[in-house]
Amino acid sequence: MAVATDPLEVCVKASSTSPNRLGDCPFCQRVLLTIEEKHLPYDMKLVDLGNKPEWFLKISPEGKVPVIKLDEKWLPDSDVITQSLEEKYPDPPLGTPPEKASVGSKIFSTFIGFLKSKDPSDGSQQALLNELNSFNDYIKENGPFINGGKVSAADLSLGPKLYHLEIALGHYKNWSVADSLPHVKSYMKTIFSMDSFIKTRALPDDVIVGWRPKVFG
């Protein structure tokens, strides 16, 4: 089992509203949450995606974040990165069993559909509510986390997306998760109050600015 002594180098989106702050990428936060929950040292490199520096484009030719350096190679894609971290640093284990790994996975796409929607009768709000209802029922029976009593990879992926949902829909649609979904609300509260989450979350202003092109584009 590998033990990290040198800090892991990880490139993430920089804030567009505040200097030297982490930006509003839920996939970057997912990677940082994984590193935090595994108690690994890391060195966060903030990348201005509006003006990508030359050194960054050399290691990430497509100009995408997050990227992390593992075994002297730069790895892109949060799916690949989190899986690689799990294999290299298996303790504490964060793997989600395959049969539970897709729980809540359609919430993000239905959130984006509703956020972008200009037509109240297009069914996009109902599509999101259907996914949230399904997740509410699941957590009621299986919670408090997706894999039961302990946080796992699926939560670290979904948590940042729910954070974006709460801020963006609150701002642009004056919409919030209803009291009729108490298990979704308690899940969000639990995830959002984790030390690792507080340390790696985006500023609400960045989330709002980040989604503006989707709303008005």
Rounded to an integer, what distance in angstroms lies between the CA atom of residue 206 and that of residue 15?
6
Q: Which residue has the tokens 């982490």?
A: 22
Token readout for 90 is 């298996």
Catalytic residue among 14, 25, 181, 194: 25
Please enumerate in sequence order all residues whose Cβ is within 8 A of that of 184, keeping only pairs 6 or more positions apart, or say none.
Answer: 132, 135, 136, 139, 177
- The helices-and-strands tally (H runs, E runs) of the chain is 9, 4
Which tokens is 186 given?
């308690």
Sign of CA dihedral 78, 80, 84, 90: positive
C-beta separation of 16 from 23 below 8 A: yes
Amino acid at 18: S
Is residue 25 annotated as part of the catalytic site, yes or no?
A: yes
DSSP-assigned letters across all residues of 4-23: --SPEEEEEEBPSSSTT-B-
The token duo for 28 is 């970057």
* E runs forming strands in 123-202: none
Angle between helical axes of 153-173 and 107-116 (0-180°, round to 10): 10
Residues identified as active-site: 25
